[in-house]
Structure 1
Amino acid sequence: MDAFYASVEQRDFPELRGKPLAVGGSPDGRGVVATASYEARKFGVKSAMPSRQAIQLCPQLIFCRPRFEVYKEVSRAIREIFSRYTDLIEPLSLDEAYLDVTHDKPGIGSAIEVAKAIKDAIRYELDLTASAGVSINKFIAKIASDYHKPDGLTFIGPSKIVPFLEKLPIEKFFGVGKVTAQKMKGMGIHTGGDLKRFSETELISRFGKSGKFFYHIVRGEDDRPVKPNRISKSIGAEDTFETDLFELEDMLLELKALSEKVEKRLTAKSSQGRTVTLKIKFADFTQITRSRTTPSYIHSAQEILQYASELFSKVDLENRKVRLLGISISNFYENDVEKLHNPQLRLF
């Protein structure tokens, strides 16, 4: 989807259309931008940017509070449109998914035509725009989907893949973040063609397991299937505060509230996990995370709070104000609601 949260807001509130908009954050400089409209992006505003910086780049920026329940409902409607064409749908987030349309339900027989049909349905039924990438595997399709935004449709056929990747700037490769891109540029790697000159052994020695991935993707090789039942890597909750927290009692109350939110989300997903992660962002924007893997699977707010509080007690908070707290659970054991309270497995 194109600037999903911001586009939904502009759709629902016509007075916001054509104006630079940030979903998340606030005009007083607190919090971070979750999504920026394309009008705001022209000024350099982007997601995960601190509000203070966004205002400096775009003083006329309009902030609006996220409406996640609305976004989830729109996401469900988008997923329903996808399901008319295939059951092989792998969601990446509320606004993005992989679809395998090798055998499309209506029998259209063309991935490009299926993409057009989906884009048209989203436009006419939901009054939103989406960008699609079409190719022979997930990696190339992902790159193609970002190539002509907004409202784009890019097809990269088998014969065009290698030339396309050789010319592509290294920071445009999905999976190459800012830090990795800078490291690659220090090695003289600025494009896919530069990356291709390195052997698999050399890349593994420089980047570990990721080196093997880089070696294959620059050659357009990606055999990962589309997985319809993709499991979330973590479930959590976090909160950025209107006023920085300084009192220990206030922080502990916030941890209790977050633990209860996480319990609800775990229950909704029929999940429990063994790894508790605590996230703390201080007033100076420095951030730390602390994790602990428990001996048994947990899901209750009481258990989550217990381990989160233990992690919290080991953090040096002297003369430091807290801007954000977050708790997440990972390392899942997936089961149904009945087993959630009785993890004993049946033999047969």
Structure 2
Amino acid sequence: MRAEATILHVDLDAFFAAVEQRDKPSLRGKPVIVGGVGGRGVVATASYEARVYGVRSAMSSAEARSRCPHAAFLTGRFDAYRASSAQVMALLRRLSPLVEPLSLDEAFVDLAAADLDDRSVAGVTRVAEQLKADVAEVTGGLCGSIGVASSKLVAKIASDLEKPDGLVVVPPGTERDLLRPMKVGVIPGVGPATAERLRRVGVRTVAELEQLSVEELVRQLGQAHGTSLFHLARAQDDRAVVAEREAKSVSAEDTYDTDLVDRRLLEGLLERQATKVTERLRKARLSGRTVTVKIRLHDFSTHTRSATLPAPTDSTRVVARLARTLLTEVDTSGGVRLLGVGVSGLADWIQEDLFETEDPEPDTAPLPAVDLDRVTRSRQWSPGMDVEHAEHGAGWVWGSGIGRVTVRFETAETGPGPVRTFRADDPALRPRRVAPPDDAVADADAEGAGAAAGADQRGGAEPE
């Protein structure tokens, strides 16, 4: 174990919602909920103003609306999130060469590898305070909570103690005193099932967990899990900060408002997802060998089918063709409510396959545009998306429906702006893309693209 508090954990507070409030002045200080806005949507994150009403990540959007009906419900803008994430990660890498991103909004930093003159508690506290100020400056006002300790375990727990905008430095030697009063669920790996098993033997707090012998924990939870909890309960965690975290997979998935049956329509949607996935692979200079299709049927049963190629690929045509083949292995006649494509077994992207020949002809005839429009029409103008009007300038979609779209014209640099309504097919109105910095691609796609892809449709949850 380290003798100094030199592991820093930073967690950007209510990240998705905070970015929306930063970029939309009229929403500052008001409840904002980011996630799926349809009937089957799930909350990705909620602003602290919404959490007052009991809204939490992974809650259904329907329940969130019942708890906080006056909140702004927005779909995700992942280009904006990736851009802000890249700015923060760049700051961290200037502080230390050893940075381990966990997601777009969370990372460990090894201060022992930083060029610091003073690694005392007072010294690392000053470093953390300066980092918080720098994060706010480069991101336009976002705040993060920071924990600093002698281990990853305690640093991560400490960063959660005084949210939002918190800072907790745990002096070496006090780690066990900090943990003992806490519920056992604070220990990584103690989920509801493990907590219930421990409750049955009288363990509810870390102090009570600490009283159990390693033999008893192994008997209750198995060799690996029991041994791990024995050490973690004593704040014994020697895991290093790993600078390069290998991406395990890149994926995209969508949940649909109505169950889909038409096979050609499903194939077209898979092809769109394959395009998204392979674009991310190429941006991150990666390729993959294993293609997986995820299918959730009308009865909520979930099926996955995978196939492994002889060599890695980043070809849209190859991934889409294999995905369509895998789709045939599942009976979808009862209707599909969720569809996804993923690529794993990732390798460094080096060069094009010298023996690959471009096939200008698609594997199947193009799908009639009306079929795909039937699925995506309601999301053409998604709440929260960035738009630009030829006459009125930049703004964001407040709402849409019945052939109309309502836009509030404001940006992060303006005050609250006016609201105007247009025809949904108004030629003067177009989407506006927020381009991430060049270094955002590797950070965002290799670290969190699979989690972020399509979360505005399926409601992928951001950690609290």
* TM-score normalized with structure 2 length: 0.67
* Sequence identity percentage: 38
Question: What is the aligned partner in structure 1 of residue 39 from structure 2?
Answer: 29
Question: What is the aligned partner in structure 2 of residue 48 from structure 1?
Answer: 58
Separation in structure 2 between the aligned mates of residue 222 and residue 97 of structure 1, nearest angstrom: 17
Question: What is the aligned partner in structure 1 of residue 23 from structure 2?
Answer: 12
Of 99, 106, 124, 1:96 maps to 106
Shift of 1:306: 4.1
Separation in structure 2 between the aligned mates of residue 291 and residue 167 of structure 1, nearest angstrom: 45
SS of alignment partner, residue 180 of structure 2: helix
Question: What is the aligned partner in structure 2 of residue 118 from structure 1?
Answer: 131
Unaligned runs of 5+ in 2: 1-11, 356-464
The CA deviation string for residues 257-302 of structure 1, in whole angstroms up to 9 with x for no partner, is 1112111222222223343333233456x35242435253432333
Residues 1:72 and 2:82 aligned together: yes
SS of alignment partner, residue 188 of structure 2: coil
Separation in structure 1 between the aligned mates of residue 180 and residue 102 of structure 2, nearest angstrom: 26
CA, structure 1 residues 79+308, in 2 after alignment: closer, same or farther (shift >3 Å)?
A: same
Question: What is the aligned partner in structure 1 of residue 199 from structure 2?
Answer: 185
Residues 1:139 and 2:153 aligned together: yes
CA, structure 1 residues 125+302, in 2 after alignment: closer, same or farther (shift >3 Å)?
A: closer
The CA deviation string for residues 24-69 of structure 1, in whole angstroms up to 9 with x for no partner, is 221x433222111111112221222221121122222211121111
Contact 1:236 1:265 (C-alpha < 8 Å) held by counterparts: no
Of 142, 148, 168, 2:162 maps to 148
Separation in structure 1 between the aligned mates of residue 18 and residue 67 of structure 2, nearest angstrom: 20
SS of alignment partner, residue 231 of structure 1: coil
Of 222, 226, 237, 2:237 maps to 222
Larger relative contact order (CA 8 Å, sep ≥ 6): 2
Q: Which amino acid aligns with 2:329?
A: K
Separation in structure 2 between the aligned mates of residue 70 and residue 197 of structure 1, nearest angstrom: 47
> Runs of 4+ in structure 1 displaced over 4 angstroms?
none
Question: What is the aligned partner in structure 1 of residue 393 from structure 2?
Answer: none
Instruction: Identify the range of structure 1 (269-278 vs 2-11) with the bigger mean alpha-carbon deviation.
Output: 269-278
Separation in structure 1 between the aligned mates of residue 69 and residue 319 of structure 2, nearest angstrom: 41
Separation in structure 2 between the aligned mates of residue 283 and residue 18 of structure 1, nearest angstrom: 39
SS of alignment partner, residue 82 of structure 1: helix
Question: What is the aligned partner in structure 1 of residue 443 from structure 2?
Answer: none
* TM-score normalized with structure 1 length: 0.88
Contact 2:287 2:349 (C-alpha < 8 Å) held by counterparts: no
* Alignment size in residue pairs: 338
Question: What is the aligned partner in structure 2 of residue 346 from structure 1?
Answer: none
Structure with bigger gyration radius: 2
Contact 1:40 1:61 (C-alpha < 8 Å) held by counterparts: yes
Instruction: Identify the range of structure 1 (223-232 vs 44-53) with the bigger mean alpha-carbon deviation.
Output: 44-53
Of 337, 353, 364, 1:341 maps to 353
Residues 1:203 and 2:208 aligned together: no
CA, structure 1 residues 72+148, in 2 after alignment: closer, same or farther (shift >3 Å)?
A: same
Q: Which amino acid aligns with 2:73?
A: F
Question: What is the aligned partner in structure 1 of residue 48 from structure 2?
Answer: 38
Instruction: Identify the range of structure 1 (30-39 vs 103-112) with the bigger mean alpha-carbon deviation.
Output: 103-112
Instruction: Identify the range of structure 1 (142-151 vs 263-272) with the bigger mean alpha-carbon deviation.
Output: 263-272
Of 178, 181, 191, 1:164 maps to 178
Contact 1:30 1:50 (C-alpha < 8 Å) held by counterparts: yes
Of 300, 308, 314, 2:323 maps to 308
Of 254, 259, 273, 1:239 maps to 254
Instruction: Identify the range of structure 1 (196-205 vs 85-94) with the bigger mean alpha-carbon deviation.
Output: 196-205
Separation in structure 1 between the aligned mates of residue 337 and residue 184 of structure 2, nearest angstrom: 34
The CA deviation string for residues 215-247 of structure 1, in whole angstroms up to 9 with x for no partner, is 221111111111111111221111233544232
Shift of 1:207: 4.3
CA, structure 1 residues 282+52, in 2 after alignment: closer, same or farther (shift >3 Å)?
A: farther
SS of alignment partner, residue 292 of structure 2: strand
Q: Which amino acid aligns with 1:170?
A: V
Contact 1:11 1:128 (C-alpha < 8 Å) held by counterparts: yes
Of 285, 288, 312, 1:273 maps to 288
CA RMSD in angstroms comes to 2.4
Contact 1:21 1:64 (C-alpha < 8 Å) held by counterparts: yes
Shift of 1:7: 0.4
Contact 1:133 1:142 (C-alpha < 8 Å) held by counterparts: yes
SS of alignment partner, residue 100 of structure 2: strand
Of 292, 299, 302, 1:288 maps to 302
Separation in structure 1 between the aligned mates of residue 97 and residue 274 of structure 2, nearest angstrom: 35
Q: Which amino acid aligns with 2:99?
A: I
Shift of 1:116: 0.9
Q: Which amino acid aligns with 1:280?
A: I
Q: Which amino acid aligns with 1:85?
A: L
Q: Which amino acid aligns with 2:288?
A: G
